[in-house]
Structure 1
Amino acid sequence: MTILQWFIFFLVLQVVHYLGTWKLYEKAGRKSWEAAIPVYNAIVLMKIINRPTWWTALLFVPIVNLIMFIIVWVETLRSFGKNSTKDTILGVATLGFYIYYINYFENVEYKRDRSLVATSKSGDTISSLLFAIIVATLVHGYVLQPFNIPTSSLEKSLLVGDFLFVSKFHYGARTPKTAIALPMVHDSIPFIKTKSYLNFPQLPSFRFPGLQAIKRNDIVVFNWPADTVYMFRDPSGRHIDKPLDKRSNYVKRCQGIPGDNLSIKNGDVYINNKRLILPERAKPQYSYTIITDGSNLDAKYIIEDLQITDGIYPTGPNKYVFAAVTEDAAKKLKQIPAIKSIVRNNSTEPDHRLFPHNQNWSQDNYGPIYIPEAGKTVALNKESLPFYRRLITVYEGNKLEEKGGQIYINDKPVVNYTFQQDYYWMMGDNRHNSEDSRYWGFVPFDHVVGKPVFIWFSLDPNLPWSQALDKIRWNRLFCTVGGDGQPTSYFKYFLILLVGWFGFDFFRKRKKA
């Protein structure tokens, strides 16, 4: 829906509200016209139902307002003496239109000084639960979102089984595009695995100012631009077009920012012809070909000490491919007497699965490629169009056609194009086992979700729950994701603070008693 369509829809809602409540406004001692003025009518309604004025703001927060509408319907009915379970069910089941019946066909009396305390334990529980959901939805949508690492593309920095908190405010929180969805649920409902949202209507979305810009080497959570999968890693292969904010959440390391010229040479990333230096915590991994003398390798040492857990594949007599090995681990492998040679694999064969699918580039030798920057103009021609077609049409909403060797945008002939937003280049540290920008291209800024800041829990997926104490990665609990130096667990400090708080609370209550 366009902004004009939303404005018309908003006005229609005001008319619906006025027609269903104007008599009730009069019975509450207000003027009937007050029910017709947008926003002001909601402020007056809060006074009628004896609720704080700031509730009005919650009516305009997407997803949260779905819960607030239910609360306001019920509170309106109770303000006019409709307190029974039957009235509550009718108010909710009819999406508030039961209030029309009360407005026109029942001679109700306004309860000016009604008690705001729930008259039953179940009512009190439901009220508390609804407001807990509202608070949690606001935090989830605009402050911090929990996130689980599903793949090994950032192995060593972030592990499969890590549970993170992702900051929405570092890069600026987005308002939702999807207007009707379950709160705190992404694209599918847990356990029953059905869609958690409606595609229509879609809201115009904007981003609040952020604390910082995305920098090279930042780990970023974003909505996967190429996502049309029904559910993440769905084995059935079902596909569906998803709204932007309901596309699968990916986490990668930003290797290129707007305005960069990026290339990959023998597996190393270069920005503007200078090799990109990764932070200390980043541990890039590559696949290696190993040739042994026929002796058995010490699997325990390789898996537990060298932490090579992402695949060892025999490819011939005494020949193996180790799928994900850091440079430090490769040096230690060379010292094993049974290993005769170890060579890092460097792909040079053209791979047309790689973006933009028409270059003779490989996974380890790629580019150069320009990363678009908002406000910057590029020439459009037969050679450059494959790089920018999706940006111009899908991400920036233009009509693009080619006629007689001429490029047309929105029915006008063009020879260049000016980008409307910034784009980024996201890659995994596990370079030979990461589906990233090399395969599907640029990440628009409006797809950025947030910045991972904290690992609050971590489980080793390779161990059974019968080994629960070993399954929990204790050294990763309460670790920061970014920062200098190696990750440090702050779990013991959390426990000290927790014990201190309970001790303080115990003695405070004892002293008060």
Structure 2
Amino acid sequence: MTLTGWLLFILTVQVIHFLSTWKLYVAAGRQAWEAGIPIYNAVILMKIINRPWWWVILLFFPIVNLIMIPVVWVETIRSFGFNSAKHTFLVLITLGLYIFYISYTQNLEHIVDRSRKPRTTTGEWTSSILFAIVAATLVHTYFMQPFTIPTSSLEKTLLVGDYLFVSKIHYGARAPMTSVALPMLHDRVPLSGSKSYYSGLEFPYFRIPGFQNIKHNDIVVFSWPVDEYVDIGPPPSGYMYKPIDKKSNYVKRCVALPGDSLEIKNGYVHINGIKNDLPDRAKLMFYMAVTSTEPLDYSIMS
């Protein structure tokens, strides 16, 4: 989506928010105009629903906000006495538009200093699970991510089946580009094999500044640039567009950096005319081709 498209989308969301909630703001003792000022209206809403101000920050984290926004919908209607399971279901199934109905058809009475503690055991479990998902998604997306080594290309350093945690803060975490995706899943849903994201709403590429630059021979995890999603379903089959953050993850050794010259002489990598000096725990991979007019004696090769 282009920048203009995103601006129009944000403007539309703000208009919907204002029209659906300004009566709630007034009922809570605030001014109607406070519902129409971006970001400020979210801060005021947190005060109305008696939730911490830092929830506003979570609303701006991609993927995390897909969890937090429905939570805010539910907390908003409960702050005005609509606590039943029916009201919760309706506000979720209508993607928050049920708040329109409440604002314009119901008597609004704000519950001041509403308790933050869930009323039921189910509510406590739900709150705990949602908190765990939000925390895990933040860590997984912006701080570190677990990987499993699938191939032998880095043998002697990393073996097939090795588990490792990869830091994202050293080089700078890449913000998600897919705005709608299932938390902590990459490109597919386990078992079903279906896509775990919607590529119709994409953020522009953005990387949070890191505190360390990539050095020669660093082992790095990156998105395979030419990767595409293979459609193995019914016709028409083929390849589909795949966002950068949903391309397959590869782990390799970085032997050259931008501006370097790279040559391969007699099977060895030379950087800027100098033979690359690999760490002790690294092993080159060589392939040999054998041509023979006689059948090979495999016993001497075992």
| TM bracket (short chain) | over 0.9
Please tell me whether the aligned partners of residues 49 and 114 of structure 2 are also in contact (alpha carbons under 8 angstroms): no
Q: Distance in 1 between the 2:111 and 2:151 partners?
A: 57
> For residues 241-279 of structure 1, what are the alpha-carbon distances to aligned partners after superposition, in whole Å with 9 as ceiling and x for unaligned?
100100011111111100011111121101111111111
2:70 paired residue number:
70
Q: Distance in 1 between the 2:182 and 2:50 partners?
A: 28
Unpaired segments ≥5 residues, structure 1: 292-314, 321-337, 340-513
Please tell me whether the aligned partners of residues 150 and 160 of structure 2 are also in contact (alpha carbons under 8 angstroms): yes
- For the aligned residue pairs, the C-alpha RMSD in angstroms reads 2.0
Please tell me whether the aligned partners of residues 169 and 211 of structure 2 are also in contact (alpha carbons under 8 angstroms): yes
1:162 aligns with 2:162: yes
In the TM superposition, residue 289 of structure 1 has moved relative to its aligned partner by 6.1
2:279 paired residue number:
279
1:317 aligns with 2:264: no
Q: Distance in 2 between the 1:251 and 1:44 partners?
A: 45
1:268 paired residue number:
268
1:240 paired residue number:
240
2:53 paired residue number:
53
> For residues 99-151 of structure 1, what are the alpha-carbon distances to aligned partners after superposition, in whole Å with 9 as ceiling and x for unaligned?
11001111121111322211111111011111110010000011010111112
Identity of aligned residues (%): 57
1:433 paired residue number:
none
Q: Distance in 2 between the 1:316 and 1:190 partners?
A: 46
In the TM superposition, residue 154 of structure 1 has moved relative to its aligned partner by 1.5
Please tell me whether the aligned partners of residues 289 and 319 of structure 1 are also in contact (alpha carbons under 8 angstroms): no
Q: Distance in 2 between the 1:277 and 1:10 partners?
A: 52
Q: How does 1:188-199 map to 2 (within 5 A)?
A: 188-199=188-199
Q: Distance in 1 between the 2:138 and 2:257 partners?
A: 30
Q: How does 1:83-232 map to 2 (within 5 A)?
A: 83-230=83-230
Q: Distance in 1 between the 2:129 and 2:187 partners?
A: 23
**For this pair of structures, how many residues does the alignment match?**
296
Please tell me whether the aligned partners of residues 187 and 231 of structure 1 are also in contact (alpha carbons under 8 angstroms): no
Please tell me whether the aligned partners of residues 20 and 100 of structure 1 are also in contact (alpha carbons under 8 angstroms): yes
Instruction: Tell me the amino acid that sits aligned with residue 283 of structure 1.
Output: K
Instruction: Tell me the amino acid that sits aligned with residue 85 of structure 1.
Output: A
Q: Distance in 1 between the 2:138 and 2:231 partners?
A: 25
Q: Distance in 2 between the 1:211 and 1:143 partners?
A: 13
Give the secondary structure class of the aligned counterpart of 1:220.
strand
Richer in strand (by share)? 1
In the TM superposition, residue 22 of structure 1 has moved relative to its aligned partner by 0.5
Q: Distance in 2 between the 1:125 and 1:20 partners?
A: 30
Q: Distance in 1 between the 2:91 and 2:59 partners?
A: 17
Using the size of structure 2 for normalisation, the TM-score is 0.93
Q: Distance in 1 between the 2:111 and 2:253 partners?
A: 58
Please tell me whether the aligned partners of residues 230 and 239 of structure 1 are also in contact (alpha carbons under 8 angstroms): yes
1:15 paired residue number:
15
Please tell me whether the aligned partners of residues 261 and 272 of structure 1 are also in contact (alpha carbons under 8 angstroms): yes
Q: Distance in 2 between the 1:127 and 1:231 partners?
A: 37
Please tell me whether the aligned partners of residues 155 and 282 of structure 2 are also in contact (alpha carbons under 8 angstroms): no
Q: Distance in 1 between the 2:229 and 2:19 partners?
A: 43
> For residues 272-308 of structure 1, what are the alpha-carbon distances to aligned partners after superposition, in whole Å with 9 as ceiling and x for unaligned?
11111111111112134689xxxxxxxxxxxxxxxxx
Q: Distance in 1 between the 2:239 and 2:156 partners?
A: 31
Give the secondary structure class of the aligned counterpart of 2:255.
strand
Give the secondary structure class of the aligned counterpart of 2:270.
strand
Q: CA distance change for structure 1 residues 216 and 119 in 2, over 3 Å: closer, same or farther?
A: same
Using the size of structure 1 for normalisation, the TM-score is 0.56
Please tell me whether the aligned partners of residues 188 and 231 of structure 1 are also in contact (alpha carbons under 8 angstroms): no
Give the secondary structure class of the aligned counterpart of 2:198.
coil
In the TM superposition, residue 156 of structure 1 has moved relative to its aligned partner by 2.1
Give the secondary structure class of the aligned counterpart of 2:156.
coil
In the TM superposition, residue 239 of structure 1 has moved relative to its aligned partner by 2.4
> For residues 205-245 of structure 1, what are the alpha-carbon distances to aligned partners after superposition, in whole Å with 9 as ceiling and x for unaligned?
3111112111111111111001013389xxxx952210010
> For residues 406-465 of structure 1, what are the alpha-carbon distances to aligned partners after superposition, in whole Å with 9 as ceiling and x for unaligned?
xxxxxxxxxxxxxxxxxxxxxxxxxxxxxxxxxxxxxxxxxxxxxxxxxxxxxxxxxxxx
> For residues 69-107 of structure 1, what are the alpha-carbon distances to aligned partners after superposition, in whole Å with 9 as ceiling and x for unaligned?
011001001100010011111111111111110011111
Q: Distance in 2 between the 1:3 and 1:238 partners?
A: 30
Unpaired segments ≥5 residues, structure 2: none
Q: How does 1:365-444 map to 2 (within 5 A)?
A: none
Q: Distance in 1 between the 2:108 and 2:148 partners?
A: 52
Give the secondary structure class of the aligned counterpart of 1:200.
strand
Q: Distance in 2 between the 1:139 and 1:26 partners?
A: 38
Q: CA distance change for structure 1 residues 316 and 255 in 2, over 3 Å: closer, same or farther?
A: farther
Q: Distance in 1 between the 2:204 and 2:229 partners?
A: 23
2:4 paired residue number:
4
Please tell me whether the aligned partners of residues 146 and 163 of structure 1 are also in contact (alpha carbons under 8 angstroms): yes
